[in-house]
Amino acid sequence: MNEGSSQLRPWQERLEAGHRPVQEEWNSLVLNSRTLRAWDPDVIPGLFQTADYARSVFEGLAELMNTTKDTDDAVRARMKRQEWLQIPGKELHQLVWEGTLCARLGSPEIMAAQLDRILEVLDLDTVRLGVVPFDAVLPLVIGNGFTMLDDRLVVTEDWHTEH
């Protein structure tokens, strides 16, 4: 991702070599950031995910997008990014939709472990989590997810592209 520019990057192209390279690129962006602000309306945020939940996400996306299946490497890269949460002085301000916490993207055991993981992450001084409840009155329809990295880069994602 070139900071300071606007790009449309189709997922089909981004994932030609699998999910691992995308995860490693995100690792670099996050590592070089002090503050992240993010909205995730559809999946548990990657910085909160367990390995089993991440595996479910990557396997489902690889199947849907018919892309290279490098699930184990992608999961390892995503789990590595979570080390950022342990670095003093870092800040994550995460907002999720309540439905994100209820949608089953794995077995009941995977989901129970995932919810436990969220509770663990909330004990960290670096993390702030907000949940938009089902009954919230919204001025607009819930939109695509986005991540703001400090004041230098904003990345939005939809089913077809990363912007």
CA angle 153, 25, 119 (to 5 degrees): 80
Whether 153 maps to a domain, the answer reads: yes
Can you give the pTM of this predicted structure?
Answer: 0.82
Examine residue 4 and state whether it is found in any structural domain, yes or no. no
Amino acid 160: pLDDT: 44
Q: Tell me, yes or no, whether 3 lies in a domain.
A: no
Structural domain includes residue 135: yes
Q: Is the dihedral of CA 36, 40, 60, 68 positive or negative?
A: negative
Whether the Cβ atoms of residue 163 and residue 156 lie closer than 8 Å to each other: yes
If one counts the domains in the chain, the total is 1
pLDDT tens, the chain, 163 aa long: 455 555 555 555 555 656 677 768 877 888 999 999 999 988 999 999 999 999 998 888 777 777 777 889 889 998 999 999 999 999 999 999 999 999 998 999 999 999 999 999 999 999 999 999 999 998 877 778 888 889 988 876 654 444 3
pLDDT at 110: 96
Q: Does 102 fall in a domain?
A: yes
- Per the structure, the complete domain to which residue 115 belongs is given by 9-162
